[in-house]
Amino acid sequence: MRFESAVRAWIAIDPDAAHRAELEALLEAGDEPALEARFGQALRFGTAGLRGALGAGSNRMNEVTVARAAMALLRWRPQASVVIGYDARHGSRRFAEVTAQVVAGSGGRPLLIDAVTPTPVLAFAVRDQQADLGVMVTASHNPPADNGYKVYRADGAQLIPPADREIEAEMDAVADDAIRPFLGVDQVLSGVTLDHRALIGRYLDAVVPGEAVGHPVVAYTPLHGVGADVFAAALERVGLEAHVVASQARPDPDFPTVAFPNPEEPGALDALLELATVQGADVALAHDPDADRLAMAVPTDRGWEALTGNELGALLADHRLATTRGQERLVVTTVVSSRLLAKLAAENGVRFEETLTGFKWVMRPAIETDLTFVFGYEEALGYAVNDLVRDKDGISAGLVALAAIERLRTMDLTPRQRLDELARHHGLHVSDQRTLVFDGPDASDRMAGVMNRIRTGGWSDVGGRAVVDTVDFADGSHDPGTDLLRFDLEDGSRIQIRPSGTEPKLKLYGEVVLAVAPHADVATTRDEGRVRCTELLAAAVDAIG
Question: Catalytic residue positions?
Answer: 140
* Bridge partners, 351 (sequence order): 330
* Bridge partners, 303 (sequence order): 300, 301
Angle between the N-to-C axes of helices 32-39 and 17-29, in degrees from 0 to 180, rounded to the nearest 10: 140
Distances (CA, A) of 517 to 339, 489, 520, 525: 20, 22, 5, 9
Looking at beta carbons, which pairs linking 365-371 to residues 24 or more positions away fall under 8 Å? 365/330, 365/332, 366/330, 366/332, 366/390, 367/155, 367/157, 369/330, 370/328, 371/328, 371/329, 371/330
SS3 category, 364:
helix
SS3 category, 253:
coil
Query: Parallel, antiparallel, or unpaired: how do β-strands 505-514 and 428-437 relate?
Result: antiparallel
Contacts of 151 (CB under 8 A, 6+ apart): 45, 48, 49, 73, 133, 134, 135, 158, 159, 164, 167
The dihedral built from the CA positions of residue 173, 174, 176 and 177, taken in this order, carries a sign that is: positive
> Using CA atoms, how far apart are residues 134 and 390, in angstroms rounded to an integer?
12
Q: Are 67 and 94 in contact (CB under 8 A)?
A: no
The dihedral built from the CA positions of residue 421, 424, 425 and 428, taken in this order, carries a sign that is: positive
Does the bond joining 118 to the residue before it have cis omega, within 30 degrees of 0? no
Work out the number of other CB atoms within 10 angstroms of the CB of residue 176. 14
Contacts of 439 (CB under 8 A, 6+ apart): 504
E strands present in 87-179 = 109-113, 133-137, 146-153
Q: Are 446 and 544 in contact (CB under 8 A)?
A: no
Which has the closest alpha carbon to 68: 184, 173, 166? Answer: 173
> Using CA atoms, how far apart are residues 355 and 370, in angstroms rounded to an integer?
17
Distances (CA, A) of 486 to 96, 172, 262, 540: 39, 35, 26, 12
For residue 341, give the amino acid letter: L
